[in-house]
Amino acid sequence: MIEIKNIKKGFDDKIVIDDVSAKMETGKCNLIIGASGSGKTVLQKCIVGLFEPDSGEVLYDGASFTHMTGEERKMLRQQIGMLFQGSALFDSMTVEKNIQFPLDMFTQMTLNEKRKRVDEVLARVNLTGANKKFPAELSGGMKKRVGIARAIVLNPKYLFCDEPNSGLDPKTSLVIDKLIKEITEEYNMTTIVNTHDMNSVMEIGDYILFMHEGKKQWEGNKSDIIFAKDEKLNQFIFASDFLQDAKEMRMLEQKGKISNDRNMDELLK
């Protein structure tokens, strides 16, 4: 579990994160959502240690990351996997070398052990046999899957994903969402996803933190969010006509005016 307590962060005279607290549980997909400029990216960077909070505390399974020494932080970071928005693959390296990179940096494994581990994670993301391909030969969805494979190659306890569906078509986005969800549960990781993709929210949102102007505006899960009463949250999520229609249909169903449970459950699950 990752817990943040009263995190504040500003740049110059501007407060970007204002007294935010939350608990991200193990084995669940924890989503941070909000419009551009809401503070979600800065918050994630504070959690992972790329920014130092001005005040507050970040706890990894009860251990205070905020007060750790540099060496202690280095040890903890070996338990963190990162999936970057643009995948951040090394163009000059093969898929195999990209995934092997963290093993080269942080382990004393033999070359054969490294190759075996690379094959294992490639199989897990359904890219068996792609070892010798270069990033330029891959589709956007394949690049994301290679990024996920690299993120989990050290078998991390914590996984951070920054806009994992950015630039992907809706069908491929669903594949990536499903993969993140499956891996989170299979590896029992604490997964934190920054996103503004409402399809992802409705697919994998075990816990959802909605940021607005640097503050925690709302928190809940994918079942709660459709019927949340928060005005700012509704303005954000119902910018989609699809979700507004879904909400209206569910309300009619609950009032007994329509009866189509199976279809609506598929629509809103």
Q: What is the pLDDT of residue 168?
A: 87
**Strand pairing class (207-212; 215-220):** antiparallel
Confidence of residue 14 (pLDDT cuts 50, 70, 90): very high
Vertex 47: Cα angle to 98 and 210 (nearest 5): 105
Confidence of residue 36 (pLDDT cuts 50, 70, 90): confident
153-178 CB burial, b ≥16 within 10 A, e <16: bbebbbbbbbbbbbebeeebbebbbe
- The pTM for the full model equals 0.85
**Strand pairing class (14-24; 190-195):** unpaired
For residues 194 and 42, give the distance between their C-alpha atoms in angstroms, rounded to a whole number.
Answer: 10
Fold exhibited by the domain 2-229: Rossmann fold (3.40.50)
More confidently predicted of 74 and 117? 117
For residues 20 and 6, is the Cβ–Cβ distance under 8 A? yes
Per-domain boundaries in the chain: 2-229, 238-269
Q: Which residue has the tokens 């990752």?
A: 2
Q: pLDDT digits over 37-73, tens only?
A: 899 999 999 999 999 999 999 999 999 999 999 999 9
Nearest to 218 by CA among 94, 96, 38, 64: 38
Q: What is the pLDDT of residue 130?
A: 95
CA torsion through residues 86, 90, 92, 95, sign: negative
Q: pLDDT digits over 199-212, tens only?
A: 889 889 999 999 99
Vertex 61: Cα angle to 17 and 30 (nearest 5): 55
More confidently predicted of 255 and 39? 39
| Secondary structure (3-state) at 11 | strand
Confidence of residue 166 (pLDDT cuts 50, 70, 90): confident
